[in-house]
Structure 1
Amino acid sequence: MTRPSGAAPSDGPGARTVVLVRHGETPLTEVGAFSGGGVAGPSLTTRGRTQAARAADATFRIGKDLWPDLARPAAVVASPAARTLETAVAVGRRTGQPVRTDARFDECDFGEWEGLAADRVAEGWPAELEAWATSGTHRAPGGESLAEVADRAWAGLADVVVGATVVVTHLVAIRSMVGRALDAPPSSWRLLRVPPCSLTVLRLRPGGTGGPGIVAVEVAAVGHPTDR
């Protein structure tokens, strides 16, 4: 029998679902600047608020006409950044769930690159940027590596995901969790495309070696065609 979202036949009691939602667009998203964790960061733009409303509508449809074989989301968790909280509030309002925060889902700490446009970072730190992006294990100056982001975010999933949970988070954080779920090398995580307010679904089941008590068994994504 074909399952609507490609769910694995081994799904059974104890299966859990996490819906990773990237925040909406901010002024720094528009210019491709590094906007990291550990700071409140910018708020959503008008376009970003529209994206958040669309993501909230899509999340509300999970378990109905969108991924009908999945459980309806029963909890909403967000990183403490302004942009994720604003997006999460839209999701929570639409799904009827309160929003709680967890700093383990913060964006990568970009250290000295915080707030800088990508071309400025490429000009000032060419070797460091290349190593950070292509190795996945090299730290940004004064900041984190992709692998370090994965360690804390994956541990967060083990604690917060019960049943079906929405986690509103960031580009690098989502790349790291999906990469870890697929057991892909950190050097390849940068290839994952995660548009603003896209939804990425991970199906989890107890046990395994993919993380503390959980292993990903399904990945799917819904993006917005106009957000390229």
Structure 2
Amino acid sequence: PLRDVLRDHSALFHFVRHLGSRSAALTGRQQNSWEAVRQRARRHPDYLSIYDGGVGARTTLTIAKRLLPLDRTDPRIDEGLRVTLRALGEMSRRTAASGAEFLVLWIPTKELVFAPQITDPSADLRRLIKAETELQRLVEERSRDLDAHFVDALPALRHALETHEMPYPESADGHPTASGYASIAAVVAAALPAPGRAVHNDGGEL
């Protein structure tokens, strides 16, 4: 049956099943009440973690969820990384053929952005930091091998958090807020070459 095939060969299948089994934890995540967010986290401590750095710097972390697609002990995840690195090479070839610059943007997880603010990280958060940092290193190395400009959005998002610009919602939603996306856009805009100028992969002009 198709379900058995997906169970045995699809990491996405397990991710969706894992998320669905905890859907109650995310119910009402669009509510604006911080107290409601805290109550949901107390009901699901195995899945939700609260960080409260004050208004503009507080959120709900979903560490277990973020670990799933970063676990390279799962051969399917490792294969996905291999395909991604190979795809970067093809994208680089196509952009070079068209005379365009190739820029690789790294957008971190919300959990990695908040990590320095957490004074006593859990074992799972430490695993997440290690796994994500290693993946970033591999993608950055591949980008530089391709002479592509690697752009890291992590410093800008952490700065937005430190200045209480609320780069992420208070809920379990891992997507940035409008402010967070603006921080990412500013980093990309700064990395784009001026018309008629090429940019080397270390960020310097040629």
TM-score (norm 2): 0.34
Q: What is the TM-score with the length of structure 1 in the denominator?
A: 0.32
Task: From the CA coordinates, give the structure whose radius of gyration is larger.
Answer: 2
Query: Structure with the greater relative contact order (CA < 8 A, sep ≥ 6): 1 or 2?
Result: 1
More helix by proportion, 1 or 2?
2
